[in-house]
Structure 1
């Protein structure tokens, strides 16, 4: 097990970097089109097979609470960006899917957002450092995920 002081220092550094980068990305995000939370929902659905995802799975993936996700999904549905349907495998569940309009809008915003990410993150680290950062973050997330799933 790692030294506690080193662990806390690493966490503080990771947290401060995440906050700083997120603030920069939020400041340059095309929010007149989508909010960051709306983008996050569309992003997660876009990565799912067939661009369809159970609402329960979406709730596990996004950075906002379940009631907020439900309201946001309703707003995106009203705008025609996603469609909701009953889960045929579980009548209590809901499937959310990107519409063609939703996917087109997501792609347009994603291009701009990726340029901003590249400017703030890609210029600070080289390819090898970015691969290492990805591996370390994935390992950290996987180590915490089992404990979070039990809660």
Structure 2
């Protein structure tokens, strides 16, 4: 490999040392690139109908939806950030806009004042209920309908195995 130019090298042409992590097999690479494609492309496909139909991003919809499904429509911001797959700072900015629209109210957690709780207002609940059919149609079209029952079970099983929950939320 001393004299080969770098432009002629491919990952398969480079063999790791015995103490290094082995390269992906063809099947592993196919699984990995398939997952990456889903992670990168699917959110846009789910978001576009929401933006056109409800004026919401996918993150905004998931934020409202998760609060709406929580007991008493109240959820700690840290838990909500995990569920909506966003950072606390991103969530805080979105929730601030929701507060300005009258959709969400924030308050200290009565059980532990170190945490902040987001509560969905009646107006916020109306927004998420109105947007839900648009989201469900997109989920069916782009995720569920192309899969049979076995595929859906496999997807749920794989997602459960790959799910990582932050230590502070367990």
Uncovered stretches (5+) of structure 1, i.e. residues with no partner? none
Larger Rg: 2
User: For 2:72 and 2:28, how far apart are their aligned partners in 1?
Assistant: 40
User: For 1:120 and 1:68, how far apart are their aligned partners in 2?
Assistant: 26
User: For 2:39 and 2:103, how far apart are their aligned partners in 1?
Assistant: 29
Query: What CA deviation, in whole Å up to 9, does each residue of 1:85-104 have, x standing for no partner?
Result: 12111222211111111112
User: For 2:67 and 2:29, how far apart are their aligned partners in 1?
Assistant: 34
The residue aligned with 2:167 is 149
The residue aligned with 1:36 is 58
| 1:107 match: secondary structure | helix
- Among 37, 46, 58, the alignment partner of 1:16 is 37
Which structure is higher in helix share? 1
Report the TM-score when normalising by structure 1: 0.83
More contact order relative to length (CA 8 Å, sep ≥ 6): 1
Equivalent residues in 2 for 1:76-95, closer than 5 Å = 76-95=98-117
Query: What CA deviation, in whole Å up to 9, does each residue of 1:61-112 have, x standing for no partner?
Result: 2222221111111110111111111211122221111111111210110111
User: For 1:126 and 1:58, how far apart are their aligned partners in 2?
Assistant: 31
